[in-house]
Amino acid sequence: MAEYFADVPSIPFEGPKTRNPLAFRHYNPDEEIEGQRMEDLLRFSVAYWHTFRGTGVDPFGAPTLNRPWDNGSESVENALRRVDVAFEFISKLGAPFYCFHDRDVAPDGETLKQANDNLDRIATRLKEKQDETGIKLLWGTANLFSHPRYMHGAATSCNADVFAYAAAQVKKAIEVTHELGGENYVFWGG
């Protein structure tokens, strides 16, 4: 398997005086505060959509981020590659958790069944990587805002078909979050 961050070591805690740009200055996971480890108090998770799906676009311009592992397609193969990259990156950060929207990790489909099948396939790889690295899912959620079908809302849509699709999408996202041992599920607006 390719290593995408081969030249980047694991990010250590070195304290506030370090000159190393790839070191934690203030976050020391082992430091105790009021009898608890900092890592237990500050439960950081790497947000999949910002870290691996964002393109650097703003309302007035084109995307500015080129991610060499991402071919720009909405294919299952690209999503699987993205999972490998994500867990390599999260491991080097030493973050104990990640979080995601369903459509961040898996491509949508032409039908709900295809979308669910895509999510199941990616969830299998996510579980493998969780078992391999010890990184856990803090929470999952359903993306009920990016697809044009949700232009009038999801759970608030006046269209019964859209409402039903949204409900089924949330149900599947809850199931996958549970299968992956997610510690929470977020009911995101839509």
Q: What is the pLDDT of residues 63-121, one digit of tens each?
A: 898 899 999 999 999 999 999 999 999 999 999 999 999 999 999 999 999 999 999 99
Residues 143 and 174 in one domain: yes
In contact, 100 and 50? CB cutoff 8 Å? no
Question: Strand runs (DSSP E) across the chain, as ranges?
Answer: 32-33, 36-37, 45-47, 97-101, 136-141, 184-185
The model's pTM: 0.92
Q: Which residues are catalytic?
A: 101, 104
Residues 37 and 47 in one domain: no
Interval 16-43: pLDDT, tens? 999 999 999 999 999 999 999 999 999 8
Mean pLDDT score, 171-185: 99
Domain span at 135 = 43-185
Determine how β-strand 97-101 pairs with β-strand 136-141. Answer: parallel
CATH code assigned at 49: 3.20.20.150
Residues 95 and 138 in one domain: yes
Residues 81 and 29 in one domain: no
Residues 36 and 96 in one domain: no
Burial of residue 106 (CB within 10 Å: 0-12, 13-18, 19+) is: buried
What pLDDT is attached to residue 16? 97
Domain-located, residue 49? yes
Residues 58 and 23 in one domain: no
Residues 11 and 81 in one domain: no
